Structure 1
Amino acid sequence: MAIKAVVFDIGNVLIEWHPERFYDAQIGPNRRRALFAEVDLHGMNLNVDRGHDWRNSVYELAEKHPEWQDEIRLWHDSWLQMAAPEIPHSTRLLRALKANGTPVFALSNFGIGTFELACKAYPVLTEFDRSFVSGYMQVIKPDAEIYARVEADCGHQPANLLFADDRPENIKAAAVRGWQTHLFTSPLDWAERLVSEALLTKEQAT
């Protein structure tokens, strides 16, 4: 089936997302490993991605772990340092697709507050033809419901969508529904896929 629209994940596709790397720089690898072993920061973040209030989620978790209170609060207070930097080649690919007239959508696990902050820091996140953000939708990948809602709202059949995501479970869930998929490992591989699908020329994909 011909590809009629391209769907981008955001974290580790358009902007880097490595909380462990951030905490390693802030408190050192050993303390970071202890923190992440004792405190379910990623579980808290998934609830933010489901639509829970970002600041309240972080600060309430910090209150439960007073020995790590300052470190946990960094997840809110220094969040932009975790969600960095932008991946410039991916940004160029998105803009090249748009320039060719290919619809581009976002499908991302992202909180409401964090997405609004990220859009201010990274203007490319405001350039999608349509954004499907889990916090607003109150459902996260790889739940089948979020893909079904994209299908219902985007105006394209599953087989006409090409979806890039860095997490295998998210790719698998889309493929089960008939989406065309790409497991994102680098912007170079993604560029090659877009060229192979005749969505961009080699020159446009650089």
Structure 2
Amino acid sequence: MSAAQRRKRMARPENRVAAVLLDLGGVLVELTGARRMMEITRGAYTEQQLWNKWLQSPAGRDFERGLISPSAFAERMAEEFGLSLPPSEFLHEFLTWAQKPFPGAETLLRRVAESGIALGCLTNTNRLHWEHLLKNTALLAQFTHLFPSHLTGLLKPSSEAFANAVAGMGCRPEDILFADDNPDNVAAAAAFGIRAFRVRGLTELAVLLSEHNLITKERTR
């Protein structure tokens, strides 16, 4: 069965979605860190190598679980990646890597909310990026349920992260539609019984939501 056929089947009335659970980075928020990190490390890694190392970084994982301070994170990252930047400069750079929602992201979430669907955010993030989004955008205000890793202490793709989100949203796993740009997270969510899809960017997310009749039609002026 193709991905399009699977989506169409799951969008039938008897399979109606009760809640939507979304990742942030790469889905609703633009990520620019990989390109800049390649520059900082002076080409020591390919983009894929850098991404893999970042996902497995002990310092990164501890920071995203809320276990260490920003300064400790910066110092440990400098050691792990052999950075020449002072920790304070690295933190300044790091703050800019996930600060801008894709154009239209807030509007799209409002359209989901207008359909009466519970809207949750399940994201691996950190204190700096989360606080920036809270203070400088209206993106997080569109959600009814928030599950940021630095506050829950749980990272995707662990089953505990999905179990916590499912319990918090008060739905059965099979009644939740989940979208993430990381295939490992999508696979883990599907294994937990959640309807999981990989999307990259706002356009793909809008298509997915539309196929499941989860967004209201845009108003004409």
Residue 177 (str. 1) matches residue 181 (str. 2): no
Answer with 47-56 or 164-173: which moved more: 47-56
Counterpart position of 1:126? 141
Q: CA deviation at 1:2?
A: 1.5
- State the superposition RMSD in angstroms: 2.8
**SS of match in other structure, 2:139:** helix
Q: Distance in 2 between matches of 1:117 and 1:80?
A: 8
Q: Give the counterpart letter for 1:195 in structure 2.
A: S
Q: CA deviation at 1:71?
A: 5.8
Aligned-pair CA distance for 1:69? 4.1
Aligned equivalent of 1:18? 32
Alpha-carbon contact 1:162-1:179 (below 8 Å) kept? yes
Q: Percent identity?
A: 26
**Aligned-residue offset at 1:32:** 4.4
Larger mean Cα displacement after TM superposition, 78-87 or 189-198: 78-87
| TM norm structure 1 | 0.83
Which residue does the alignment assign to 2:174? 159
Cα gap change, 1:41 to 1:5, in 2 (>3 Å): closer
CA contact (8 A) 1:143 1:173 kept: yes
Q: Deviations over 1:187-206 (max 9, x none)?
A: 222212211111124537xx
Match of 2:105 in 1: 90
Could you say if the C-alpha distance between residues 202 and 77 of structure 1 is closer, same or farther in structure 2, counting changes exceeding 3 Å? same
Q: Is the 8 A contact 2:111 2:215 kept in 1?
A: yes
- Give the aligned length: 200
> Is residue 142–residue 173 contact of structure 1 (8 Å, CA) maintained in 2?
yes
Q: Which of 44, 47, 58 is the equivalent residue of 2:62?
A: 47
Q: 2:46, 2:188 → 1: CA distance?
A: 31
1:79 aligns to 2:94 (yes or no): yes
The equivalent residue for 2:127 is: 112
Q: Secondary structure at the match of 1:149?
A: helix
Query: In the alignment, residue 44 of structure 2 is paired with which amino acid?
Result: R
CA 1:56 to 1:176, structure 2 compared with 1: closer, same or farther past 3 Å? same
Residues 1:7 and 2:21 are matched in the alignment: yes
The partner residue of 2:44 within 25, 33, 43 is: 33
Q: Please give the TM-score of this superposition, normalised by the length of structure 2.
A: 0.78
CA distance in 2, matches of 1:190, 1:51: 28
Ranges in structure 2 where 5+ consecutive residues have no aligned partner: 1-14
- For residues 200 and 106 of structure 1, the distance between their equivalents in structure 2, rounded to whole angstroms, comes to 17
Q: 1:64 to 1:95 in 2, by over 3 A?
A: same
Q: Residues 32 and 156 of structure 1: is their aligned pair in 2 closer, same or farther, counting only changes over 3 Å?
A: same
Supply the distance in 2 between the matched residues of 1:66 and 1:185 (Cα, whole angstroms). Answer: 27
